Amino acid sequence: MEIAPALLEHWMRRYYFDTEIDIGSSGVESFSMSELHRLLGLSRDDLDQIVFDDSRTLGAPGLRAAIGDRWANGDSSRVMATHGSSEGIFLAMNALLRPGDEVITVSPSYQQLFAIAESNGCKVKFWNLDFKRGFVPDVERLKRLVTGRTRMLVVNFPHNPTGTSLTPELQKELVDVVAETESYLLWDGAFTEMTYGRPPLPDPGVWYDRTITLGTLSKGYGLPGLRVGWLLASPEILERLVGIRDYLTLHLSPLIELIAERAVRNADVLLRVRMEQAGANLSTLAAWVERLRELVDWTPPQGGVCAFLRMPGVGDVEAFCHRLAREYRVLLVPGTCFNQPGFARLGFGGPSPKFEEGLTRLSDLLVKVSR
């Protein structure tokens, strides 16, 4: 198995820890342990009760029940707790796909959503979102990509990196397209509850039993370092994933599972705090774009905490982002990490004062290179 270099991870490894201000990431501000003690009612006694035994392959019963209650209509038999959603992607693609299978994935997208399939010898076709259409998903275009050989459709809505999403009607139409071919639907729901002015989309698994839905505590809940995600699927599909996990991570840590269970049970608290901040930052970003409308263009996001900026006056956006990181100490992710040169992913989920300072430094360089 030869897998392509993970461009986004390489970029983050290069600059995430060596810049002062992060306006490139796709999650909200991370919580500290002291904040979790206060917000989740997590006590020292709770932690002292942990025994570092092995845990269960699908996750501790308490964590599976918490995830099931919130996202699977109370059915914990459909839940697998994973090491972030990235493990769920790896497990699903290796368990359900074979060389020669046809896979359709939304584009631009997180590289793992197609590179793993490619490494397994699958034929990948891209369902492109067009900036000229405001990145609005075109289901008619999707229908033209689907054939009798299609084995899996891979999507993430609200979308990373553009922030676009589907209407409930378009979501149902998308599910119908997949169901006609009896393909798998890999639904990356990392940003499901991170929406603006609209309710979250339902899990398509309630309509279609060949759906694999992914979630994570890394994005809207401010816990990326916990490395906890989940996968929702039928027990039959989960059983196929277990055999691969036996060769990988085996299970989560009991300590991590305790904190994750408490976080899921109090997810509304975590989400409310950080999404209020993100909403304020989004308003700041919108005003900033308006002031610099000759230098930047965008489609306002409908969900998540990132926007995909087009900078028409910048000849080489990747070189621009290198310079921004090295000279201005600001992390911004070039669109080349998503196979979209000419764009950059800007994240607005961080602390507001730092976010505003990051925009100021970004403005300075934009003006300088556009003179």
Backbone angles phi, psi at 212, to 5 degrees: -120, 110
User: Cα–Cα distance between 170 and 277 in angstroms, integer?
Assistant: 29
What is the per-residue pLDDT for 1? 67
| Per-position pLDDT tens, the chain of length 371 | 688 889 999 999 999 999 999 999 999 999 999 999 999 999 999 999 999 999 999 999 999 999 999 999 999 999 999 999 999 999 999 999 999 999 999 999 999 999 999 999 999 999 999 999 999 999 999 999 999 999 999 999 999 999 999 999 999 999 999 999 999 999 999 999 999 989 999 999 999 999 999 999 999 999 999 999 999 999 999 999 999 999 999 999 999 999 999 999 999 999 999 999 999 999 999 999 999 999 999 999 999 999 999 999 899 999 999 999 999 999 999 999 999 999 999 999 999 999 999 999 999 999 999 86
What interhelical angle do 267-291 and 352-370 show, nearest 10?
30
The reported pTM is: 0.95
Joined together, the tokens standing for residue 126 give: 């891209």
Residues paired with residue 22 on neighbouring β-strands, in sequence order? 331
Letter string b/e over residues 314-344, b meaning 16 or more CB atoms within 10 A of that residue's CB: beebbebbbebbeebebbbbbbbbbebebbb
User: Cα–Cα distance between 153 and 92 in angstroms, integer?
Assistant: 12
Question: Three-state SS for 51?
Answer: coil
- Which domains, ranges and CATH numbers included, belong to the chain? 7-32+269-364 (3.90.1150.10), 44-267 (3.40.640.10)
Look up tokens 């979501």; give the residue: 171
Letter string b/e over residues 217-238, b meaning 16 or more CB atoms within 10 A of that residue's CB: bbbbbbbbebbbbbbbbbeebb
What is the per-residue pLDDT for 3? 86
- CA distance to 209, 219, 221, 312, 367, per residue, from 293 (Å): 45, 29, 32, 10, 12
Neighbours of 265 (CB within 10 A): 18
